[in-house]
Structure 1
Amino acid sequence: MTARFHALQPGARLSDRVAAELEDAIRSGRLQAGERLPTEAALAAQFAVSRTVVREAVSRLKSLGLVHARQGSGVYVREAGIAPLAFDSRHAVFKAAVIQVVEVRRALEAEAAALAAQRRTAAGLRRIHKVAQALEQAVAAGGDGAREDVALHRCIAEAARNPFLLDTLQYLSRFLQGATRVTRANEAWRTDFARQVRQEHARIVRAIEAGDAAAARRAAHTHMDNAIARIEQAAPAFWQQQGQVLASALVDEVKTGLVLKQ
């Protein structure tokens, strides 16, 4: 084994960082084509992370076509072959996929917020506030808050008390969560983006709490519009690093489950 890895320090989403470290080892030649990756247990020990984190990271490498699994043998580095598509082409595909999913979220979550404002209960509001606080704590601790962000929007949908809406969101959850991971990672790159998101979430929650359906719908719709604008403004460096790893997994999901209309 030619490549050795070191424990990661707390910060951004660990699986993204593990995937980026492994990808760099492959592209730099420290991990050669045909070479077997260390086992999950070995990588988890080297990076000082859980095996679940390693599994997620390796899954992203598979979606990038950098490694493949051999039944009963392990995971191996693929032949490098011809260089990948130019960055601008990958960038366009990744950005389009994320924006298209956010457009779906905009339609569903604006209505969910409006219904939540009309139908919220004291217990539902307490859950929304609790999850919103958990989101703030996750970001303050150095995380991207993606899981907590999804949970917040899920609580709002639950407050709408429409089982068909919940079922639709559950059906689309793999796409919605993938897009959220990309948008949250991008927003973590800039303090102004992060501040905007906090303010937008606060406006949605206030409107729901006040029982103002029109304001809640408007706030949720604006939140998604702004999420698209922030993706449009994402720095090239973001797409070259976290964005590429995160969005490639989403694109792979979309290709297997939906037809993207470019």
Structure 2
Amino acid sequence: MNDTLTNQLLSGQSVGATVQVVIDALFARIRSEEYPADTRLPSERTLASELGVSRNTVREALDVLENREIIRRRAGSGSFVTYRSAPDRNGTDSTVAERTSPLDHLVMRGILEPEMVRLAVINMTPRDLEDLSKTITHIESVRTEISDFVRYEEELYRKIAQGTRNPLLASCYDLVIDACQQSFRAPLMRRHLTPKRIQDYQQRYNTLFNAIAARDVEAAVEFIKLHLVEEQKLLLQDG
């Protein structure tokens, strides 16, 4: 189903304002693939607790999503995502990523990441934070494996982006990660991601997580700005 049409259909339902807020929140999570296709949604009780509404409100929102074929309910099993975003037919994202230089990439990170972290601090749910904590644990388990560290680092940033509850921002940041995966990053990491530097990054990301978990917007944003300065120094050193 076309994304624009889906938004119009969902917003056109005759439902109460609170139900519409829940519909929008759930659909944003589905579109950002926080709840990927074919996966089961959290229980009505869990969603009600996370969103601060009654189970009846959640149930009514799920009714709308099911009617629009965004989800499918299975008796005794729960609600499952059936929605799939329209594919990128032009390959535009890939082309942009391939043309992005290391400096372009860092500039975009400087624009997006402070606001991304700010929104994540405000909007991440306890469930999001628990999931983010697991990624931090994975990061801290790495000793020398560069590929593992990079994979978990990307996972960390994706979860923070998804935690903003802003699907457009999350999609923009997916493109930033795509650019990050281009050829310039591999040799850069091989040259600079030593065991000592891995430990340094582990400490940094632990600090970032603690600020997000404490709902400390100022500390989290200040941290990411300082982290980006260090990333810039690394890039200039490489140049």
Return the TM-score normalized by structure 1.
0.47
How many matched pairs?
Answer: 138
Say yes or no: does 1:188 pair with 2:197.
Answer: no
Return the TM-score normalized by structure 2.
0.51
Residue 180 and residue 119 in structure 1: after superposition, are their counterparts in 2 closer, same or farther (change >3 A)? farther
Deviation of 1:113 after TM superposition, in Å, equals 0.9
Deviation of 1:210 after TM superposition, in Å, equals 0.7
- Equivalent residue for 1:119, pick from 115, 118, 123: 123
Deviation of 1:194 after TM superposition, in Å, equals 2.6
Residue 176 and residue 143 in structure 1: after superposition, are their counterparts in 2 closer, same or farther (change >3 A)? closer
Residue 142 and residue 167 in structure 1: after superposition, are their counterparts in 2 closer, same or farther (change >3 A)? closer
Residue 158 and residue 175 in structure 1: after superposition, are their counterparts in 2 closer, same or farther (change >3 A)? same
Q: Is the 8 A contact 1:188 1:194 kept in 2?
A: yes
Segment of structure 1 superposing worse, 106-115 or 173-182: 173-182
Q: Is the 8 A contact 1:114 1:217 kept in 2?
A: yes
Q: Is the 8 A contact 1:120 1:159 kept in 2?
A: yes
Question: 1:81-117: CA deviations, max 9, x gaps?
Answer: xxxxxxxxxxxxxxx9323312211221121111111
Say yes or no: does 1:223 pair with 2:227.
Answer: yes
State the alpha-carbon separation in 2 of the partners of residues 200 and 127 from structure 1: 18
CA RMSD of aligned residues (A): 2.4
Q: Is the 8 A contact 2:117 2:220 kept in 1?
A: yes
Deviation of 1:127 after TM superposition, in Å, equals 1.2
Q: Which amino acid aligns with 1:210?
A: A
Give ranges in structure 1 of 5+ residues lacking alignment: 1-95, 240-262
Q: Is the 8 A contact 1:116 1:160 kept in 2?
A: yes
Q: What percent identity do the matched residue pairs reach?
A: 22
Could you tell me which residue of structure 2 aligns to residue 165 of structure 1?
Answer: 169
Give ranges in structure 2 of 5+ residues lacking alignment: 1-99
Residue 114 and residue 183 in structure 1: after superposition, are their counterparts in 2 closer, same or farther (change >3 A)? farther
Say yes or no: does 1:213 pair with 2:195.
Answer: no
